[in-house]
Amino acid sequence: MVIMAADRQAVALGLGPGMKLADARARVPELLAFDHDPLADASLLARLAEACERYTPMVAAEPPDALILDISGAAHFYESETALAQDAEDRLDAVGHAICWALAGTPDAALALARHGLKEGAEAQLPVSALAMDAKTHQALERAGLYRIGDLAERPRANLAARFGMELTLRLDRILGSEDRPIDPLRRVGNIVTERRFAEPLTHIDAALTCLSELFAEAAERLNQRGQGARMIRILLFRCDGDVARLGIETGAPTRDAALFKRLLRERIEALNDALNPGFGYDLIRLSIVAADPLAPQQLRLEGGEDRQGDAIALVSQLSTRLGRERVQTFAPADSHIPEQGLLALPALNAPAPVPWRVKPSGDPPTRPLHMFDPPQRVQVIAEVPDGPPHRFTWRRKSHQVIRYEGPERIASEWWQRPDGQQPGNGGLTRDYYRVEDARGRRYWLFRHGLYGEEKANPDWYVHGLFA
Amino acid sequence: MNNSDSDSGGAFGLSPANSPAEPKTAGQKAAALKARLGKILAASGVKAAEDADSPSHFGFGVNRVDAALRGNADQPGLPRAALHELHAADKSDRSSAAALALLLAQRCRALGSDRKPILWISESGQARRQGRLYPPGLAELGIDPSGIIHVDAPDSIAVLRAAADGIRSPAMGAVIAELSGRKPRGLDLTATRRLSLSAQKSGVLGLLLRCGGDADNPLPTAAFSRWQVAAAPSVPLAANAPGHSVFDISLLRHRSGLYGLSARLEWNRDDQVFREQQQSHERAPYPGAVPALSAGRADHPGTRAA
């Protein structure tokens, strides 16, 4: 086992990454060692990145141990860029993270400086290993007497490129600041972002909600200018001790309605598993419109009266926010003759336009049940072999005498979906459906699973649905 | 009011106006009482005349039943802007009760000019155990599945909350809330009173579907009417095949004090209307009960072959 990371005390004792654990134990017998958990590290880094969104919306995590903040034009809340970085250091220090930071024109330069404990403008003093090429290249550079980035910078690029490849000159340019690299921020910047900062943190939820309503009204004003309505809203509540609460709201139709937003927000907060805890208070509240759709200003009806369509969508949005979007559904037909696959239950929030259902010619009673069991339930059936109708069946410990029946309606399995389905025996079991009615007038949908003798020696029977 | 044939039809609706001891004086008294009652009802807002163009009542489309349901109101049938309760007679009658609720909602929705959606709310655990709504089956009953918003609520409290929100919104055609068990949590007089008041205000039909409840000793609710629904043997088609859906319904409670009304109804998909079946022992040759089956089946012999 090898040491992956060591704390300050361990480093002071001469231990460090790359050392074998047995050697370290031999030197320091009372060493405390924990298993390396890269996933936990990554999630911690992601959480820190989120907390750093208070400084700028452009935060990228640079695994395993770095964060890149693009603070161009975002430092005006602080006296200087250094003050901003100092503030970040103080906050992270308060929650127990020791950090090194550096400011530079490009992300690579800042990373290299921070990793080597240098400050802005000291790029020339960086060792060549800051280029993060492979060990062989580093060795070759040092053998040529080039120990520092400054030494490399003086050399003509063409010779370097010919000797070590274009990769080296590209990295060199990036560290020296003549070549920029785009960062991949944690999330896309929303279309419209409104935020409030508080000198004195808000410690009451109600105050935060009022503030959010005002923010939404501001955002709605800007949406109105663009002729759009919000579909997806993201809310970030930054607590002054570094914790960030995230809320997302989705609506069924583009909206600029502040009352609807307020209602949905209340639903969303009530539906949270662990209630919002303001703790020491929120000092920054941000609301961003992540997705928006065109929404023309609506004309009121001349004769008065409210708009019904909008009300229905508002209700769907409200129920989806409270119960979850998967729990409020509309139905659409699916192209399959297997009964349980003949429908799609889609979230009503963004359901497509309704599709007409195929209805059989009139005059016949329904051939499909009103309620369906998924999966079908086993029943014991007395029926003639090989393919006679059921005479009597036992379901849920009750025996039912079949008075009337119709069938079979034979539904083959989708053998073309199976591997080697065209071979006999691989095609799946055929179902023979019967519509039956018992003595009390209940109507059931039973099926025999498999053809007697051909597909199965002793086919099972199931009840698949109940008719009205 | 056609109470002349109600003796022959077995059970029938009793309304206070048509059981006079002395026809002359009692008739006048009844008229005076009716006028007074009308005033009280108007003041209490039972008849929410929210939509002037669409009728305030809906019915089964069976004259005898609708007329008997008139009660003290001025129109036959049941009021739309109210909460009604449907009890499944037995656990295995759940599908029949659900179908009746959907069909009543469909009939009520058809009265309006715009096709408003039906909000169906059920408990998810119940749906898993007892089967869930199957849209192709709905389509075959004549109900368009795309007009249904299906809500899977985690528990009975959530069902009632969603129902309250749905009934409050005038954009809904009807709201059906399904609750099972002897005593669902949260279902009480207060909750149902809230639902029925919202229904009066918004004009949305509310249907409370109860399954597995105690039919003899039901929970007190503020519903306008309470019905018991059971499956009934259908009129067989050729080759003894099961026929159209048939329901046995009986009125357990009504605001106007009606009781004892029961009927056996068959749903006719093409006319979107119920037909009454005679409850006699021999198979009834009621002309409306079996709508032109033989002709239809002769025309489409292939459609029903397996």
Nearest CA in chain A to B296: A363
Residue of chain A minimizing CA distance to B101: A468
Write out pLDDT tens, residues B126-136: 888 888 899 99
**Sign of the dihedral through C-alpha A387, A390, A391, A397:** positive
CA distances from B36 to A90, B25, B31, B43 (A): 79, 17, 9, 11
Last residue of a domain, one of A152, A176, A200: A176
Question: How far is the C-alpha of A373 from the C-alpha of A393, rounded, in Å?
Answer: 17
Q: How far is residue A77 CA from its own chain's centroid?
A: 31
Smallest CA–CA distance from B305 into chain A, residue: A409
Is the separation of the CB atoms in A366 and A384 below 8 Å?
A: no
Read off the pLDDT of residues A223-235 as tens digits, 9 standing for 90 and up: 888 888 898 898 9
The three-state secondary structure class of A122 is coil
Together in a domain, A284 and A375? no
At A293, which CATH number? 3.30.1490.100
Amino acid (one-letter) located at B115 = R
Tell me, yes or no, whether A40 lies in a domain: no
Q: What is the CATH number of the domain that holds B81?
A: 3.40.50.300
The alpha-carbon gap from B72 to the nearest alpha carbon of chain A, in Å, equals: 31
Domain assignment present for residue A77? The answer is yes
Q: Is the pLDDT of residue B283 over 90?
A: no
The whole-angstrom distance between B14's CA and the closest CA on chain A is 28
Number of domains in chain B: 1
Q: Give A343's contacts in chain B (Cβ within 8 Å).
A: 134-136, 145
Residue B122 pLDDT > 80: yes
Among the residue ranges A246-255, B48-57, B100-109, the one predicted with the least confidence is: B48-57
Q: Which of B132, B171, B231 sits opposite A372 (nearest CB)?
A: B132
- Which residues of chain A neighbour B246 with C-beta distances below 8 Å? 441
Q: Are residues A276 and A212 located together in one domain of the fold?
A: yes
Q: Give the pLDDT confidence of A337-395 residue by residue, as tens digits.
A: 899 998 888 998 887 888 888 777 777 888 999 999 988 999 999 998 888 899 999 99
Is the minimum CB–CB distance between B63 and chain A shorter than 8 Å?
Answer: no
Lowest mean pLDDT among A273-277, A324-328, B77-81: A273-277
Q: Where a domain ends, among A318, A345, A361?
A: A318
Please count the structural domains in chain A.
3
Q: Does A238 lie in the same domain as A209?
A: yes
| Cα A355 from Cα B144, distance rounded (Å) | 10
Contact assessment for residue A53 and residue A244, using Cβ atoms and an 8 Å cutoff: yes
Residue A23 in domain: no
**Per-residue pLDDT band at A403 (split at 50, 70, 90):** very high
Angle at A33 between CA A28 and CA A39, to 5 degrees: 150
Whether the CB-CB separation of A459 and A450 falls below 8 Å is answered with yes
- Tokens 């059971």 sit on residue: B230
The shortest C-alpha distance from A376 to chain B (Å) reads 9
- Nearest chain B residue (CA) to A442: B231
Residue A428, SS3?
coil
Q: Is A389 on the interface with B (CB under 8 A)?
A: no
- Whether B126 is covered by a domain: the verdict is yes
Q: Are residues A129 and A242 in the same domain?
A: no
- Contact residues, B window 13-32, toward A, CB-based 8 Å cutoff: none
Decide: pTM greater than 0.90.
no
| Same domain for A199 and A155 | no
Please tell me which residue of chain A has the smallest CA distance to B162.
A319
How many A-B residue pairs are in contact by the CB < 8 A criterion? Answer: 221
Residue A28 banded pLDDT, cuts 50, 70, 90? confident
Query: Whole-angstrom Cα distance, residue A92 to residue A85?
Result: 11
**Tens digit of pLDDT for each residue in A86-125?**
988 898 888 888 888 898 888 888 888 888 888 887 888 8
In whole numbers, what is the pLDDT of chain B averaged over residues?
79
Q: What is the pLDDT of residue B207?
A: 95
Res. B51: pLDDT tops 60: no
User: Which residue's entry shows tokens 């079996």?
Assistant: B290
- Judgement on whether residues A383 and A461 belong to the same structural domain of the protein: yes
Closest approach of A308 to chain B, Cα-based (Å): 5
Binding-face residues of A in 335-364 toward B, CB within 8 A: 339, 342-343, 345, 348, 354-364
B215, part of any domain: yes
Is the residue at A11 inside a domain?
no
* Residue B118 within any structural domain of the chain: yes
Tell me, yes or no, whether B270 lies in a domain.
yes
* B5 is a domain residue: no
φ, ψ of residue B152 to 5 degrees: the values are: -105, 100
| pLDDT the model gives residue A456 | 86
> pLDDT tens for residues A181-220?
888 887 766 578 888 989 899 888 888 999 999 999 999 9
The closest of B20, B81, B85 to B203, measured between CA atoms, is B81
Sheet holding A282-294, edge to edge: A192-202, A282-294, A228-239, A244-255
Domain span at B191: 16-299
All residues of chain B having their beta carbon less than 8 Å from the beta carbon of residue A330 are 146, 148-150
Instruction: For residue B188, tell me if it sits in a domain.
Output: yes
| Cα distance between residue A319 and residue B162, in whole Å | 7
Mean pLDDT of B188-209: 92
- Residue A376 sits in which domain range? 371-467
In-domain check, residue A66: yes
Residues of B whose CB is below 8 A from A327? 124, 151-154
